[in-house]
Amino acid sequence: METSDAMGVHCEEAAVLGRGGLGRNTWLLAVAAVAACLLLVGPSAPSGAVLGRSAPVEAVRDVVPNRVMTWNICNPCEGNNVGRAAEIAAYAPQVIGLQEACVRDVERIREYLQSLHGLVYHVEYGTVLQSWGRCGGAPWNPGGYGQAILSAAPMTDRVNVEYPDGGSEDRGYMAVTTRVGGQSVRVFNTHLAQRRQEEVRAKQTGVLAAAVARHDRAIVLGDFNAVPDAPELARVWALAADTDPQCRPSSTGSCETTTDWHSKFDYVFLRGIAPLEHGVQPSPYSDHDILHTDLAPTCGTSAAAGTSQPRTSGRGVGAKACPDA
């Protein structure tokens, strides 16, 4: 639980005590507690209300219908779900794949996206661990940890697969069917084994690639813990292209880094879909950068709002070329 959230809970408890039919001394203590909370928390809490008063909410924003994002939000790290939600809202993607995600944190992020930014998302989870150490909760009821996908459109046909060998920690992938840019697409979200576990990752990408290959149109998001020319990524590269057309699994490729240690570990792989543009944005809330990309519409459809017309360069594997505008 975040510090500010915890303070809010104690403030509410104090307010309830103050309203109960308690003795004068207890009542005075409750009033003092409420006053202290107001000084600590300030005029408005992240949840948007203190003592029944609603805080101002930013103007409602629409999601960008052809934009997707991947982000390893870092765990264990000093979590700030209000800040994480603000980072996501700055790009307002249609679909977000999160890794190292605790269910409780994702629920908070989702709540703040709606209450503070007017962005409403559906959520599906790809939990691989029940971890009290990572996600809190009672020892007999620990929090879920793994992947999550947020989508502005409903999601169907969710699968959650744990890799037979996770390496030093359980790892897996999840997949859903949803709509991006008005088109139905299969979206995968994965987190591969940690660094210096190349042989384990090679087995994991074999499992993942077999699932991706069954779909003509797919988006594969995630933290692969491997640089582009790592041999264990070869099976994925054979099926899909990175959203950055300059990034290739060879020495001639030029890939933007996505981590604090200046390595590219995070990818948006596209199969049967062409990219328009992408961006990498460092965040103070994680040791991984935010990677977001806008996707080109299918030929014969109009470009999504807020994007330029598609060009022939940078096509994903299997994507149809569209004529220049």
Query: Which one, of 217, 219, 193, 218, lies nearest residue 205 by Cα?
Result: 193
Q: Say which residues have a Cβ less than 8 Å from residue 73's Cβ, sequence separation at least 6.
A: 79, 84, 98, 99, 100, 101, 105, 285, 286, 288
Confidence of residue 41 (pLDDT cuts 50, 70, 90): very low
- Give the Cα separation of 2 and 202 in Å (integer): 37
Say what the pLDDT of residue 138 is. Answer: 86
- Give the Cα separation of 268 and 274 in Å (integer): 11
- Give the Cα separation of 14 and 155 in Å (integer): 41
In degrees and rounded to multiples of 5, residue 79 shows phi and psi of -80, 145
Say what the pLDDT of residue 76 is. Answer: 87
Decide if 146 contacts 127 (C-beta within 8 A).
Answer: yes
- Does residue 46 have a cis bond before it (omega within 30 degrees)? no
- Give the Cα separation of 274 and 295 in Å (integer): 6
Say what the pLDDT of residue 150 is. Answer: 98
119-158 pLDDT, tens digit per residue, is 999 999 999 999 988 999 988 889 999 999 999 999 999 9
Say what the pLDDT of residue 304 is. Answer: 37
- Give the Cα separation of 127 and 173 in Å (integer): 9
Confidence of residue 298 (pLDDT cuts 50, 70, 90): low
Q: What is the mean pLDDT of residues 205-214?
A: 98
Say what the pLDDT of residue 317 is. Answer: 54
| β-bridge mates for residue 131, sequence order | 143
Say what the pLDDT of residue 95 is. Answer: 98
